[in-house]
Amino acid sequence: MSRIHLNRIDLNLLTVLHRIHTEGSLTRAGVALAMTQPAVSHALKRLRESLGDELFTRTTHGVRPTP
């Protein structure tokens, strides 16, 4: 199991993570955060790489958190 170093994570990404979780959509999260959808997608990619987890999976109705 790899170790997660929270001091290396950009804390602004946690705001993006929270908003994606709340909105269930990268597009709606972007609107709420005044970011473009590609910027939200890039932030999610950075989080996935930092945490070593997919975090969300796509569904026909947006995204849902992984178990």
Average pLDDT over residues 18-22: 98
Has this prediction a pTM greater than 0.85?
yes
Half-sphere exposure of 60 (CA within 13 A, CB side): 0
Work out whether the CA dihedral 9, 51, 19, 32 comes out positive or negative.
Answer: positive
Higher pLDDT, 43 or 5: 43
Higher pLDDT, 5 or 23: 23
How many whole angstroms separate alpha carbon 40 and alpha carbon 52?
18
**Amino acid at the residue 59:** T
Phi, psi of 24 (to 5 degrees): 70, 20
Average pLDDT over residues 38-55: 95
- When the pLDDT of each residue in the chain is averaged and rounded to a whole number, the result is 92
